[in-house]
Amino acid sequence: MATIAQWIEGARPRTLPAAIAPVVVGTGAAAAVDKANLALALLALVVSVCLQVGVNYANDYSDGIRGTDASRVGPVRLVGQHKADPENVKLMAFSFFGFAALVGLALVALSAAWIMIPLGALAILAAWRYTGGDNPYGYRGLGEVYVFVFFGLMATLGTLYTQAGRVTTVGVLGAVGVGAIASAILVANNLRDIPTDRATGKVTLAVRLGDRGTRLLYAALLLVALLAVVGIAFTHPWALLALLAFGVAWKPLQVLRSGATGLALVPVLAATGLFEVAYAVLLATGLWLA
């Protein structure tokens, strides 16, 4: 039976910045049009974090029963390493999905953003189908697309829409920025797992691109995030505060340039997550000041 510490590690806390950052930026974009609502932002944050934890447990379950987690490096795999019963891990995943749905319904009711109901249902379905089901798209090199769409565009713009009742250009650019960084976290994760994924037949984008291509993709995604800030700064100059966050990104970029592999890439995930939070907070601060 898994310990509480192992269950917490199985939730993969290092990935939570991907859930927090879009809510922060979406709220900042709402503040830029004087529509920020911190109560609604808190509800959006709960939804986003629960979806992230749910998809992490769902991935642990689905990868574990397929045998692709048997010899990975990095955080504990509850199913793959036989730490917990697979059905319990699956139950935990759907418990978080269910709670996200309940809080999401409360958010929709308070904001009257009814369009978010079908979009939220789609997000939960996509979270499960990432590595679950008969033909998971995470095994076909589409994981980064999922992260960009749901933890970039949808989470950021959904947060903005529930507070402001509309989508803005600033919100779209902010969504692109945080989505690119969230995708970079997954790119770093899949770069680390290329050997085991290739051996078990899990064809991630990293497996398709190879080692060098994946490292270049990581750098390109960070460049997209930088360009998003520059785009916002044309109308909101204080957004340039977010450029300070790129000091945090320097170290993981250097680690990738050094050719590090395996466990040496684990700190890159943590550093990229910290970068995403710093980017989101500084960008939102700039938008709030505007």
Condensed to tens digits (0 to 9), the pLDDT of residues 120-132 reads 999 999 888 887 7
Q: How far apart are the C-alpha atoms of 124 and 101, rounded to whole Å?
A: 8
Does 251 or 197 have the greater pLDDT score?
251
- Work out the pLDDT band at 70, boundaries 50, 70, 90: low
DSSP annotation string for the chain: ---HHHHHHHT-GGGTHHHHHHHHHHHHHHHTTT---HHHHHHHHHHHHHHHHHHHHHHHHHHHHHTTTTT--SS--TTTTTSS-HHHHHHHHHHHHHHHHHHHHHHHHHHT-TTHHHHHHHHHHHHHHTT-SSS-GGGBT-HHHHHHIIIIIIHHHHHHHHHHSS--HHHHHHHHHHHHHHHHHHHHHHHHTHHHHHHHT-B-HHHHHHHHHHHHHHHHHHHHHHHHHHHHHTT-GGGGGGGGGHHHHHHHHHHHHTT--GGGGHHHHHHHHHHHHHHHHHHHHHHHH-
pLDDT-wise least confident of 85-89, 107-111, 281-285: 85-89
Q: Tokens at residue 271, please? A: 């550093």
Please name the amino acid found at residue 36. Answer: A
Task: Judge whether residue 73 has pLDDT over 70.
Answer: no
- At 109 the pLDDT is 96
Please name the amino acid found at residue 58. Answer: A
Task: Judge whether residue 204 has pLDDT over 70.
Answer: yes
- At 81 the pLDDT is 81
- At 27 the pLDDT is 97
Q: How open is the CA angle 266-92-201, to the nearest 5 degrees?
A: 50
Q: Any bridge partners for residue 140, and if so which?
A: 203
- Work out the pLDDT band at 74, boundaries 50, 70, 90: low
- Work out the pLDDT band at 101, boundaries 50, 70, 90: very high
pLDDT-wise least confident of 15-19, 43-47, 160-164, 272-276: 15-19
Q: Tokens at residue 114, please? A: 């009814």
Condensed to tens digits (0 to 9), the pLDDT of residues 111-122 reads 999 999 999 999
- Work out the pLDDT band at 82, boundaries 50, 70, 90: confident
For residues 21-26, average pLDDT: 97
The mean of the pLDDT values for the chain is 91
Task: Judge whether residue 140 has pLDDT over 80.
Answer: yes
Give 133: exposed, middle or buried? Use CB within 10 Å, 0-12, 13-18, 19+.
Answer: exposed
Does 146 or 228 have the greater pLDDT score?
228
**Radius of gyration over every alpha carbon of the chain, rounded to an integer in angstroms:** 18
pTM: 0.91
